[in-house]
Amino acid sequence: MKTNLDIKALDSAHHLHPFTTHHELREQGPRVITHADGVYIYDEDENQIIDGMAGLWCVNIGYGRQELVDVAAETMKTLSYYNLFFQTTTPYVAKLADLIAEKTPEGLDQITFGSSGSEAVDTAIKLIWYYWNLEGKPEKKAIISRERAYHGSTVAGASMSGLPFMQGIFDLPLPRFHHAGPPPHYYEYAKDGESEHDFAMRCAKAVEDKILELGPENVAAFAGEPVMGAGGLMLPPEGYWQEIERICRKYDVLLWSDEVICGFGRTGEWFGCQTYGFTPDIMTMAKGVTSGYVPLSATALNKRMADPIINADTEMAHGFTYSGHPVACAVAIRNIELLDELGLVGERGAEISRYFQDKLKTLDDHPLVGETRGVGLLGALEIVKNKETKERFDPAGSAGLACRNHCFQSGVVMRAVGDAMFLCPPLVISESEIDEMFARIRKALDLTAKELD
Ligand code: PLP
């Protein structure tokens, strides 16, 4: 291994980053993050930066927890690897399946594992198709999701995502994937004078219209994120999920909650579907299950879906080398126990979420902020030129980019999608760290306003 080399030069010479315009990155050079602790990340110049995004929405328990380091090391020594094919199991995967089944909504207690959110999504798609084949309805294959949804970047995940920029260049989406609009985001998509309730019903009706257009006999499932995440942090309007659930039941369409971001305490409950009061048939989860310390994902099925699969004469010919990896499962178990022990999905979580949401609201008075919104420890703000008319800066996205850069320079990570800025801090964040984070954000907004003036 080469030593003492310039990391930026090495990276630029050999590394193709995810979701990156490469020639731009190679001209500018990447940021190098070298270590992290609690809610802070540090770059190679020892700048201390508050990670307002918990990595990529995943480090729920915060960085550098010794308990997780210890359990990973112990498990590597005891059982560094074994697979779950050929009728074998390990104590780690069996205990984790049991623990997750305890947290999921009633009935969603049959769990299969993968390593990434995208793998969980691919798994869900295959199991949905397999289920309908077993039920003698092989024509039920269409999957409906939402415009601007994000469901991963494998061939199937990108097809299901409602983001054309990830599709066209790869000749996606595949057939069978359909998208309903508008996204359920009142601020951006409601018509003048439309009530939140009417808007919620219009968004849900777009799904019903899509089911009817395709023919209910051809529709396998509707997939949604309880709070839409990576495509633009969008909170469902009041009543939206109940109406979606009603429509899915009416047309015998499976309801799929993609909990990859919302799971494990992010919205205040263990899962987003619990926060929003609906019960899916199938759930996908990743990220917060291990707080990002090691890769692990899971797909949970209810009895309706699981029974035919369990009783089938055919083999469920699906799985991965690393399904239920012992080290990942051991870390997930300890991580979930810690979330419990620290009350982060409970009293303490509720208390710190209230504090966070109150602080977020204080940004409403900033001249650039058109809207703030949030739930649990998720938050977003919209940057606008004119608060009354919601007019944006030209070109679209330039204000978000400027703000994101000022945030980083001011010592806080916020993510920008277009001109919306997101926050998703570790659940362990304290009141004083929240104060510090919002002081840095306000400074970044002031600097952005000056730059755009
Ligand atoms: N589903 C949702 C809702 C996500 O937010 C993501 C990632 O952000 C994924 C799936 C894909 O997860 P991964 O990046 O681990 O493949």
Other beta carbons within 10 Å of 157: 24
Confidence of residue 5 (pLDDT cuts 50, 70, 90): low
Whether the pLDDT of residue 406 is over 90: the answer is yes
Query: In whole angstroms, what is the distance from residue 373 CA to residue 355 CA?
Result: 14
In whole angstroms, what separates CA 219 from the centre of its chain? 25
pTM of the model: 0.97
Q: Identify the CATH class of 31-60+345-452.
A: alpha beta
Lowest mean pLDDT among 1-5, 79-83, 85-89, 317-321: 1-5
Whether the pLDDT of residue 140 is over 80: the answer is yes
Percent of the chain's residues with pLDDT above 70: 99
Buried b (16+ CB within 10 A) or exposed e, 283-320: bbbbbbbbbbbbbbbbbbbbeebbeebeeeeeeeeeeb
- pLDDT at residue 329, rounded to an integer: 99
pLDDT digits (tens, 9 = 90+) for 82-120: 999 999 999 999 999 999 999 999 899 999 999 999 999
Q: Identify the CATH class of 68-342.
A: alpha beta
- State in Å: Cα 53 to ligand 1 middle: 14
Closest-CA residue, ligand 1 atom 7, reads 152
Query: In whole angstroms, what is the distance from residue 176 CA to residue 317 CA?
Result: 21
Query: In whole angstroms, what is the distance from residue 325 CA to residue 90 CA?
Result: 9
Average pLDDT over residues 262-266: 98
Residues of each domain in the chain carrying CATH 3.90.1150.10: 31-60+345-452
**Are the beta carbons of 183 and 234 closer than 8 angstroms?**
yes
CA-to-CA dists, residue 74 to 70, 77, 296, 361, 415, angstroms:
6, 5, 18, 44, 35
Confidence of residue 2 (pLDDT cuts 50, 70, 90): low
**Residues framing ligand 1 (Cβ under 6 A):** 116-118, 121, 150-152, 157, 225, 229-230, 258, 260-261, 286
Other beta carbons within 10 Å of 451: 13
* Greatest CA separation for the chain: 68
Residue with tokens 């940004």: 363
- pLDDT at residue 428, rounded to an integer: 98
Q: Which of 287, 320, 322 to mutate to test the pocket of ligand 1 (most atoms within 8 A of CB)?
A: 287
Percent of the chain's residues with pLDDT above 90: 98
CA-to-CA dists, residue 240 to 186, 214, 271, 298, angstroms:
11, 22, 17, 26
**Are the beta carbons of 111 and 324 closer than 8 angstroms?**
no
Q: What is the mean pLDDT of the chain?
A: 97
The radius of gyration of the chain from alpha carbons, rounded to an integer in Å, stands at 22
Q: For ligand 1, what atom is nearest to the CA of residue 56?
A: 8
Of residues 419, 392, 411, 429, the one with CA closest to residue 49 = 411
The amino acid present at 443, given as its one-letter code, is K
Whether the pLDDT of residue 4 is over 70: the answer is no
- pLDDT at residue 178, rounded to an integer: 98
- pLDDT at residue 26, rounded to an integer: 93
ipTM of the modeled complex: 0.99
H-type alpha helices, 170-288: 186-189, 196-214, 240-250, 272-275
- pLDDT at residue 3, rounded to an integer: 56
Task: Locate 167 and state its tokens.
Answer: 């599709």
Where does residue 340 rank: exposed (0-12), middle (13-18), buried (19+ CB within 10 A)? middle
Q: For ligand 1, what atom is nearest to the CA of residue 119?
A: 16
**Are the beta carbons of 149 and 229 closer than 8 angstroms?**
no
Average pLDDT over residues 271-299: 98
Residues of each domain in the chain carrying CATH 3.40.640.10: 68-342
pLDDT digits (tens, 9 = 90+) for 30-67: 999 999 999 999 999 999 999 999 999 999 999 999 99
Query: In whole angstroms, what is the distance from residue 394 CA to residue 398 CA?
Result: 7
**Are the beta carbons of 261 and 57 closer than 8 angstroms?**
yes
- pLDDT at residue 13, rounded to an integer: 93
